[in-house]
Amino acid sequence: MRNAQILSTGSYVPDRVVTNADFAARFGDKVDDWLVENVGIRERRYLHEDQVTSDLAVAAGRVALERAGLEPAALDQIIVATDTPDYLSPATAAVVQAKLGARRAGVFDVNSACAGWVTALDIAVRQVMTEPEEATVLVIGAYGMSRFLDPNDKKTATLFADGAGAVIVRAGSAPGWLATVTAAAGEYHDALGIYTGGTFCPATADHVAQFGPPVVQFVRKFPATFNVEQWPPLIERLLAKASAATGTRLRPDDVDHYYFTQVNLRIIEDTMAALGQPLSKTHWIMDRYGYTGSACIPMVLDDAIAQGKGPQPGERVLFCASGGGIALAASLWRWVG
């Protein structure tokens, strides 16, 4: 039986640093204190004027390839998870393929907002396990949300940032992937997003004049406690599925590393408390990089490994994500190393 394993990781952030202090003059002196206390963000990274989302994806992908000891020509598939693509069409993955020189690779994008990378990771698993010719897949989460920010909107301008994270998924003999579950609360599809640019509101001159340019916006409220309420049962469902598949009863205590969507440190703290797990089992990067959406989970995994806090061979790793839609996805892995 073919198994799917995570072979390597990589990440990239632009070197343009935007600190909380940069927002003080615009929004008031207490912005820094509020962001640190309530969200955990101290600074974030933005694209340079000459950078686009595919540039971030390519940089992260190159790191993952180098660490795996692979050339771009070894790739069978490139999947890019993003809701800030280079173009509405064609897929950003096609741009990444060209920039990497990975001419053999098939390409497509996944847009499940900030849950996109975990969703794309699961698609890579299915390909590797069922398609003999799809043995090596580059899965990238990339985010260039600074291009879609209203600089005068305190809620979004101080939160979102840019970056990319990547993994190589490859077929192997030892089990890596154990289970994945997905869910959604589609009734909130019109609560948070970029609503100009598609068929609902095309980015024509008339529409832009009436509704403004494409920017990310909070249109209406959704429960502030949504993630804390939804992540633990999603994880319980994931562990039950993995237990049935492996024949071993798995509980939250049996997971060695938890990596969550990096939207709010307080939410992560509350979720770990609800699971009865110590914070030492998780890791966070929003303090340095802000909220990087579909890129944040592979970024936090890569950062943990770089700091010597990442998973060791045989340990169980859990990814849990949520994003606009509201889409949710969680995946459990045994780290092969």
Span 3-174: which CATH code? 3.40.47.10
- The helix (H) or strand (E) run that includes residue 46 is strand 43-46
Distances in Å between the alpha carbon of 253 and those of 256, 272, 275, 277, 295?
Answer: 8, 11, 9, 7, 27
Q: What is the mean pLDDT of residues 268-295?
A: 98
User: What value does the mean pLDDT take over residues 193-211?
Assistant: 90
Tell me which H or E stretch contains 298.
helix 296-306
Average pLDDT over residues 243-267: 97
CA dihedral 321, 113, 165, 70 (to 10 degrees): 110
pLDDT at 101 over 90: yes
What backbone torsions phi and psi does residue 7 show, to the nearest 5 degrees?
A: -85, -35
Q: Average pLDDT in the 140-148 region?
A: 98
| The two three-digit tokens of residue 175, written as one number | 């089990």
What confidence score (pLDDT) does residue 1 get?
A: 65
As a whole number of angstroms, the distance between CA 271 and CA 158 comes to: 23
Q: Of the candidates 116, 159, 135, which has an alpha carbon nearest to the alpha carbon of residue 295?
A: 116
Q: Helix and strand tally (H, E) in the chain?
A: 11, 13
- The mean pLDDT value for 258-279 works out to 97
Instruction: State the Cα–Cα distance between residues 262 and 243, nearest whole angstrom.
Output: 27
% the chain with pLDDT above 90: 90
Q: List the domain boundaries for the chain.
A: 3-174, 179-185+220-334
Q: What is the pLDDT of residue 132?
A: 87
**pLDDT of 337 strictly over 80:** no
Residue 211 is predicted with a pLDDT of 80
pLDDT by residue (tens digit) across 158-190?
A: 999 999 999 999 999 898 999 999 999 999 999
Decide if 242 contacts 334 (C-beta within 8 A): no
Q: Which of 91, 86, 202, 206 is nearest to 148 (CA)?
A: 86
Give the pLDDT confidence of 14-68 residue by residue, as tens digits: 999 999 999 988 888 788 999 999 999 999 999 999 999 999 999 999 999 999 9
Superfamily name with CATH number, domain 179-185+220-334: Thiolase/Chalcone synthase (3.40.47.10)
- Predicted pLDDT of residue 41: 97
Dihedral angle at the C-alpha atoms of 263, 266, 267, 268, nearest 10 degrees?
Answer: 90
The arithmetic mean of pLDDT across residues 115-133, rounded, is 96
0.75 surpassed by pTM: yes
Give me the mean pLDDT over the 137-153 stretch.
97
